[in-house]
């Protein structure tokens, strides 16, 4: 029988982690409990963050939003400030798992699990998210692409927790898109996914672009080559096909039970081509 601690304040949390440094920390537990059930993890004790109000909800801090690590996906989706400023993140969270998973799972859990197939991760990458790490003596902020260092691996030391994620509100993107390919339409782990945010001029030319792909490498994949191939161009199938040739060099998909590497390459480029359908003069 494992001991489960439910601290109500950060002070109580630090005290628990000092007494039980090998505890597994969680909020929703949708990933952790599966790993424990399957024998992949066997923690001595558990520490639940769900009663820490400091780690929940969306805070408006002027030019930035802070999303607490214990904020569930369902609450993230309906947060007015997130819907206004971070539409690509809303789209990604909206297709994560099933309604019960979105009600229980948290954005912090999705980040710390660091699965290449994590739905919110490509969106957080294109939005240049920074994660806030806290410990008993202070806190620090680091870019999410430096925090996630490999599949299932993050730069988090003993006694540290992921407190939340910081995102700039006014980034100027007027086209936002997230898409994932799975073996079924709902409750599917991504075979491949893509998040894209673009700033288009009034004439439809690409002024800026950020794109990221999931499930096609050990971590989320970005490519300056693909992005630069779009800059100054009117979005068209020809332009996107040209950018897709550079994507081949950036991604490194694997073969597994869900799909082959060649299929992942094909659908990654297909998702890129579909940006042409979303750039018909409408702001998304």
Ordered by where they begin, the domains of the chain are 3-49+56-168 (3.30.465.10), 175-278 (3.30.390.50)
187, pLDDT greater than 90: no
Label the pairing between strands 206-214 and 130-135: unpaired
Tell me how far the alpha carbon of residue 13 is from its chain's centroid.
25
Residue identified by tokens 């802070």 is 66
Q: Tens digit of pLDDT for each residue in 157-177?
A: 999 999 999 999 988 999 999
Which pLDDT band holds residue 280 (cuts at 50, 70, 90)? Answer: low
Number of other residues whose CB lies within 10 A of the CB of residue 239: 17
User: Tokens in use for 60?
Assistant: 């408006």
pLDDT on residue 186: 65
Number of other residues whose CB lies within 10 A of the CB of residue 248: 12
Mean pLDDT of the chain: 92
pLDDT on residue 4: 92
pLDDT on residue 241: 94
User: Tokens in use for 95?
Assistant: 């297709």
Average pLDDT over residues 111-120: 94
Highest mean pLDDT among 21-25, 163-167, 240-244: 163-167
pTM greater than 0.85 (yes/no)? yes
pLDDT on residue 281: 46
């Amino acid at each position: 029988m494992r001991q489960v601690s439910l601290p109500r304040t950060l002070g109580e949390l630090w005290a628990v982690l000092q007494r039980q440094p090998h505890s597994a920390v969680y909020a929703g537990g949708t990933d952790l409990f599966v790993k424990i059930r399957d024998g992949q993890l066997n923690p001595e004790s558990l520490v639940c963050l769900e009663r820490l109000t400091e780690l929940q909800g969306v805070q408006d801090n002027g030019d930035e939003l802070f999303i607490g690590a214990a904020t569930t996906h369902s609450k993230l989706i309906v947060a007015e400030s997130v819907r206004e400023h971070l539409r690509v993140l809303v789209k990604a969270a909206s297709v994560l798992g099933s309604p019960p998973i979105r009600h229980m799972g948290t954005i912090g859990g999705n980040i710390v699990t660091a699965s290449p197939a994590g739905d919110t991760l490509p969106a957080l990458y294109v939005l240049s998210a920074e994660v806030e790490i806290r410990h008993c003596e202070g806190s620090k902020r680091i870019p999410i692409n430096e925090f996630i260092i490999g599949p299932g691996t993050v730069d988090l030391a003993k006694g540290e927790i992921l407190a939340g994620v910081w995102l700039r509100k006014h980034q100027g993107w007027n086209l936002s898109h997230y898409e994932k390919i799975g073996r079924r339409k709902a409750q599917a782990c991504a075979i491949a996914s893509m998040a894209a945010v673009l700033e288009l001029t009034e004439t439809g030319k690409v002024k800026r672009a950020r794109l990221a792909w999931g499930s096609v490498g050990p971590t989320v994949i970005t490519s300056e080559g693909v992005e630069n191939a779009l800059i100054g161009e009117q979005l068209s199938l020809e332009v996107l096909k040209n950018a897709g040739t550079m994507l081949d060099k950036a991604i490194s998909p694997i073969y597994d039970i869900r799909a082959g590497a060649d299929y992942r390459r094909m659908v990654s480029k297909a998702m890129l081509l579909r940006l042409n359908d979303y750039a018909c003069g409408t702001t998304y």
